[in-house]
Amino acid sequence: MPQGQFPPAAGKQELPLHPSLVYNPAIMDIEAFPEIENFQKLPRRVIVKGGGFTLAGSRTSELRGLVINNIGNPICGIVVNLVVFDANKIPQLSTSVPASPDRLDQGGIASFVFQVEDLPGEAKDYHLYTGWRFEER
């Protein structure tokens, strides 16, 4: 049975859900964010999303992105980590940058920028993840 569907009731015909109604975190991309009316439709976690690498200089590539706090509590010390893989899924680069701002209330959005010198090949396969801690009040 596909993710997000319930078994049909006895004697009822199973109707498939429209793809936009099925939550799948693997396909939620940055283009989906403007369509979200409120943060209740986002997963309850700290979300990180980056764009694609762009050439920022003769030898410098740049990756920009967003961090959204939807965990339900204020967080601080936000660091975004980047791992770039080659064609054989072997890590070629691992680095991190602090998000700006590094403190977010519930629903807050921060940004980050990676500037990588002499990136080995074209970086199409990469993984982003965040490190953070709850803010103590």
Tens digit of pLDDT at every position of the chain (137 positions): 455 455 555 555 555 544 544 445 544 555 555 555 555 677 889 999 988 888 777 788 888 999 999 988 999 999 999 998 888 888 988 999 999 998 999 989 999 999 888 776 667 788 999 999 998 87
What would the pLDDT profile of 9-48 be if each residue is shown by its tens digit?
A: 555 555 554 454 444 554 455 555 555 555 567 788 999 9
Cis peptide before 98 (omega within 30 of 0): no
| Helix, coil or strand: residue 57 | coil
Q: What are phi and psi of 56, to 5 degrees?
A: -105, -10
Spell out the domains of the chain, with CATH numbers in brackets.
22-132 (2.60.40)
d(CA 40, CA 3): 20
CB within 8 Å of 9: residues ≥ 6 apart: none
Total-model pTM: 0.67
